[in-house]
Chains A and B, each alone.
Chain A
Amino acid sequence: MRVVNSPHPSTAPSIYLSQVLGKPVLDANGERVATVRDLIVRFGGEPHPPISGMVAREGKRDIYLDWEQVADISPQGAKLSTFKVDLRPFQRRDGEAMLRRDILDKQLIDVDGRRLIRANDLQLAYSEGQYRLVGVDVSVQGLLRRLGPSRLTGSIQGRRTIDWGDVESFATDVPMVRLRVSHEGLSKLHPVDIAHIVDALSYRQGQEILESLDDETAADTVQEMDPEAAAELMEGLNRERAADILDEMDPDDAADLLADLPEESAQELLGLMEPDESDAVRELLTYEEDTAGGLMTTDYVAMPRDITAHEALARLRALEEPPAPLYHVYTVEAEGSERLSGVVSLRDLVIANSDRPLASLEDPDWRFVNMDEPARDVARLMAEYNLAAVPVVDGDGNIQGVVLVDDAMDVLHPDLWTRRLSRVFHK
């Protein structure tokens, strides 16, 4: 005997969305009244959002069935708990997503695996009194299940399912409703990982991610991205917001990014940035890109060579925002001078007796480069002498900035092509 009004499902603990779609909807009498067209989930705080409704095809129109009316779903179809179908036309509501239309086949982020996936199928399971979206099938089996005739391949089990709690979807895939998709999980990843994901995304999805991050994380992410793609993304952001992110970036990276923008946009953003930050960036923008001047950052610490180690450390502590990374303190002839006289490594500074003057701690064979030194030569020099940072001086011997090893490495090892088809074409 068939129990129609059972509050518990009679089927296996989990089923796939593809096994339900297109199957008959039976009323309490067992009469076929419609076919399953889509399932609706309500996104809230839960890691496994509950299914809140069904869209069914009846004749030539789509009707909405509240989940209250649905007794059970299974690979055989859906059973209703009512004898009469309430014929309400379907309308989208805020906070809800349609599994087939908005999520199936779409690109999603596997936060745990730090990569992009495509939803070959969706796994539903009954737990805590409700059917819920519990996972995304990303396996080839998931593809086969839907490719073949359902009689033959419909029950193939997925080999790789990713828990929905580790998955983030895109609000941009659901244009009709305002869907609040938080990218909270993503923002906890390392900026390098976020950058890889954003690089592999389409422009709009990348923008959605960037907008959801806080200024600092966004800045770190943008710095790690393909420079041209980063510029495109920043140009599309709200101006104020873009300026806030630029403020948080290292001046040299901000300069490289602005250089990739049309002049008017760059000027506008510079005008919106914090004056301190934009001054540094403006200066960097005047240097040729593939020289030491274009490679360097202006974030460094210089101190007169006659002060003591104790005094130097005190000054470092007093800095509001000490440069990061901080490998060296650069010594200049006198207070207020910019004339570079030597380099003191942080190591030597920290272990020295506190009354030693900086002059006595200067590295005996330190190196510097000129502003117009080609970037590749700078990078080679740093690689050859194992330098973490090298100061850059102008024609008068005044220190203008510092080239850091991570920026130099980009010159020697440009990134391989990114993971997107469009970048193959994008010259």
Chain B
Amino acid sequence: MGDRSNVAKPPLELAARSRRERFARRFSVGPLAYLGLLGPGLIAANAGNDAGGVATYASVGAEFGYSLLWVMVLITVSLALVQEMAARMGAVTGKGFSDLVREQLGVRVAAFVIGTLLVANAGLVVSEFVGIGAAAELFGISRYVAVPPMALLVWWLVTRGSYRRVEKVFLAMTFLFFAYPIAAILARPDWAEVGRQVVRPSLQLDANYITLFIAMVGTTITPYMQLYIQSSVAERGAGASIREARADAYFGAVFADLISGFIIIATGATLFVAGTHIETAADAARALRPLAGEYAQIVFGAGLFGASMLAAAVLPLATSYTVTEAFGFEKGVSRTFREAPVFLGLFTGLIVVGAAVALLPGLNVIRLLVFTQVLNGLLLPVVLVSILRLVNDRDVMGAHTNGRVYNLLAWATVAAVVTLSTIYLLITVLGLFGLEI
């Protein structure tokens, strides 16, 4: 490394300092980093495998076996495109999504788009607290006992600035979800059938099917991921090259969706085959039995808890920043309520609402989790259209606007989601009048 420089001074002694660790975070160096293993693309896309994501994929596998796997392939293509566009905007403009929306699309559009994000993210915050409650119950602790102190803990950790220290613990717990691919293989699924379903599209006009379809889209391509990847890439400044950001976004999308696909296969090979419907978190945990046996609940519970706590802290915070940055309110967790009322009000409000909904009596955990993802799917077109408008604006992107094929695929995604959403809403409205398709 240092031998190419012709500086006469002795080279730095690097080993002594903690530089190596810091280097790893830049995705511009090192072979591992080049694969995108540590880039924001991977982290962003994997954020989809949270409480709502696992509940959705597990439900898909349990209800429909492998028959929705082909959708996963298409969603992966869309996710890769969308994440890449967001990353590219970050690299070219050096700005975050809410900055761009406000500056380029004006106050009214900004209010609409940011409002949409607020609703979508509020849904996710609810799902995280539901996830915390469900995880607690797997360990035999009532959610009424577990959720309020956890909500307080999250609030306290973030506003007191010590969240960073415990973050890695939660992150490590989410790795337990990597047990799904192993469980899937140990469950000895019919690989020929899996292969067939991956490439053979089939569609059912069934309310449950459409619902899970949209939930899958919503949980895989979550608006929050685009915010994440764009601002992370923008933050890299000089280190952000479009090519690397692109590789990272693609890799992250494929990797995350492989895990998601395995969750479907794992549940398909166990629960679907046994004809079990998923009603509780314990049902979802059962898919891990081929690997973890009687410890399946513990593995699943710990993974669920870690993923939910992680997102329960970051999501309200990211949402509060998104809103206040777009509208120029004072922001920052170290502020007082008097200095930054909107920011802290939103942050606190989201946590309170999330925890409160998670405590509602008679909650169908899995159904609520899936619903929050459906909500994200329904709202996704708003965010996608804004991204497309910005990424095709020459004033914003210069020579880096979308190519024709790109736009075609992206608009096809929008059209597909809008069509599905319409069908979903139609079925729901008809359902209100007691009609069923």
Q: Enumerate chain A interface residues (CB-CB to B < 8 A).
A: 105-107, 115-120, 138, 143, 146-147, 173, 175, 202-205, 207, 228-229, 232-233, 235-236, 259-260, 262-264, 266-268, 270-271, 278-279, 282, 285-290, 294, 414-427
Contact A232 B5 (CB under 8 A): no
What total of chain B residues lie within 8 Å of the partner, measured CB to CB? 61
Contact B16 A204 (CB under 8 A): no
Contact A232 B238 (CB under 8 A): yes
A423 and B231 CA atoms in complex are apart in Å by 8
Contact among A115, A262, A427 for B28, CB-based, below 8 A: A262
Could you show 8 A-B contacts with beta carbons less than 8 Å apart?
Answer: A117-B328, A202-B95, A263-B1, A263-B2, A264-B2, A285-B12, A289-B18, A426-B232
Contact A232 B12 (CB under 8 A): no
Contact B331 A419 (CB under 8 A): yes
Measured CB to CB, the closest approach of chain A to B198, in angstroms, equals 32
Knowing A202-B96, A270-B7, A290-B18 are in contact, say whether A425-B231 is a contact too (CB < 8 A): yes
Complex interface residues of chain B between 373 and 400 (CB less than 8 A to chain A): 395
Knowing A285-B13, A421-B231 are in contact, say whether A262-B103 is a contact too (CB < 8 A): no
The B contact surface, by secondary structure, is: helix
Contact B9 A282 (CB under 8 A): yes
Complex interface residues of chain B between 232 and 257 (CB less than 8 A to chain A): 232, 234-239
Contact among A106, A115, A424 for B103, CB-based, below 8 A: A106
Is B332 part of the contact surface with A, judged by Cβ < 8 Å? yes
Knowing A267-B12, A421-B98 are in contact, say whether A138-B321 is a contact too (CB < 8 A): no
Contact among A228, A287, A422 for B231, CB-based, below 8 A: A422
A133 and B358 CA atoms in complex are apart in Å by 51
Going nearest first, the 4 A-B pairs with the smallest beta carbon separation are A118-B328, A421-B321, A236-B238, A203-B237
Contact among A107, A264, A422 for B5, CB-based, below 8 A: A264
Measured CB to CB, the closest approach of chain A to B344, in angstroms, equals 13
Contact A425 B318 (CB under 8 A): yes
Contact B25 A427 (CB under 8 A): yes
Measured CB to CB, the closest approach of chain B to A222, in angstroms, equals 14
Is B14 part of the contact surface with A, judged by Cβ < 8 Å? yes
Is B345 part of the contact surface with A, judged by Cβ < 8 Å? no
* Neighbouring B residues of A115 by C-beta, 8 Å: 330
Is B361 part of the contact surface with A, judged by Cβ < 8 Å? no
A48 and B435 CA atoms in complex are apart in Å by 66
Contact among A207, A420, A423 for B237, CB-based, below 8 A: A207
Contact B334 A202 (CB under 8 A): no
Contact among B110, B235, B334 for A426, CB-based, below 8 A: B235
A421 and B232 CA atoms in complex are apart in Å by 9
Knowing A262-B29, A421-B227, A426-B232 are in contact, say whether A294-B17 is a contact too (CB < 8 A): yes
* Neighbouring A residues of B236 by C-beta, 8 Å: 203, 232
Q: Nearest A residue to B40 by beta-carbon distance?
A: A425
Is B362 part of the contact surface with A, judged by Cβ < 8 Å? no
Knowing A120-B328, A262-B28, A282-B12 are in contact, say whether A289-B17 is a contact too (CB < 8 A): yes
Complex interface residues of chain B between 327 and 342 (CB less than 8 A to chain A): 327-328, 330-334
Is B228 part of the contact surface with A, judged by Cβ < 8 Å? yes
* Neighbouring A residues of B9 by C-beta, 8 Å: 270-271, 278-279, 282
Knowing A282-B9, A419-B331, A425-B231 are in contact, say whether A259-B22 is a contact too (CB < 8 A): yes
Is B31 part of the contact surface with A, judged by Cβ < 8 Å? no
Contact A288 B108 (CB under 8 A): no
* Neighbouring B residues of A289 by C-beta, 8 Å: 17-18
Knowing A143-B327, A285-B17 are in contact, say whether A267-B22 is a contact too (CB < 8 A): no
Knowing A262-B23, A416-B161 are in contact, say whether A105-B107 is a contact too (CB < 8 A): yes
Knowing A262-B28, A288-B17 are in contact, say whether A416-B334 is a contact too (CB < 8 A): yes
A425 and B229 CA atoms in complex are apart in Å by 9
Is B121 part of the contact surface with A, judged by Cβ < 8 Å? no
Measured CB to CB, the closest approach of chain A to B384, in angstroms, equals 20
A263 and B28 CA atoms in complex are apart in Å by 12
Is B282 part of the contact surface with A, judged by Cβ < 8 Å? no
Is B111 part of the contact surface with A, judged by Cβ < 8 Å? yes
A288 and B12 CA atoms in complex are apart in Å by 12
Is B322 part of the contact surface with A, judged by Cβ < 8 Å? yes
* Neighbouring A residues of B7 by C-beta, 8 Å: 267, 270-271
Measured CB to CB, the closest approach of chain B to A95, in angstroms, equals 20
A93 and B334 CA atoms in complex are apart in Å by 43
Contact B107 A235 (CB under 8 A): no
Given contacts A202-B234, A232-B239, A263-B2, 9 further A-B contacts (CB under 8 A): A107-B99, A115-B330, A147-B107, A232-B237, A259-B22, A288-B18, A418-B332, A422-B231, A427-B43
A173 and B330 CA atoms in complex are apart in Å by 21
Contact among B98, B228, B235, B238 for A235, CB-based, below 8 A: B238
* Neighbouring A residues of B99 by C-beta, 8 Å: 107, 202
Knowing A259-B19, A289-B17, A422-B231 are in contact, say whether A235-B1 is a contact too (CB < 8 A): no
Complex interface residues of chain B between 311 and 362 (CB less than 8 A to chain A): 314, 317-318, 321-322, 325, 327-328, 330-334
* Neighbouring B residues of A235 by C-beta, 8 Å: 237-239
Knowing A203-B235, A235-B237, A417-B332 are in contact, say whether A424-B28 is a contact too (CB < 8 A): no
Knowing A262-B26, A425-B40 are in contact, say whether A147-B108 is a contact too (CB < 8 A): yes
Contact B107 A421 (CB under 8 A): no
A146 and B99 CA atoms in complex are apart in Å by 17
* Neighbouring A residues of B13 by C-beta, 8 Å: 285-286
* Neighbouring B residues of A420 by C-beta, 8 Å: 231, 235, 321, 325
Complex interface residues of chain B between 1 and 59 (CB less than 8 A to chain A): 1-2, 4-5, 7, 9-14, 16-19, 22-23, 25-26, 28-29, 40, 43
Contact among A236, A288, A419 for B332, CB-based, below 8 A: A419
Contact A264 B12 (CB under 8 A): no
Q: Nearest B residue to A265 by beta-carbon distance?
A: B238
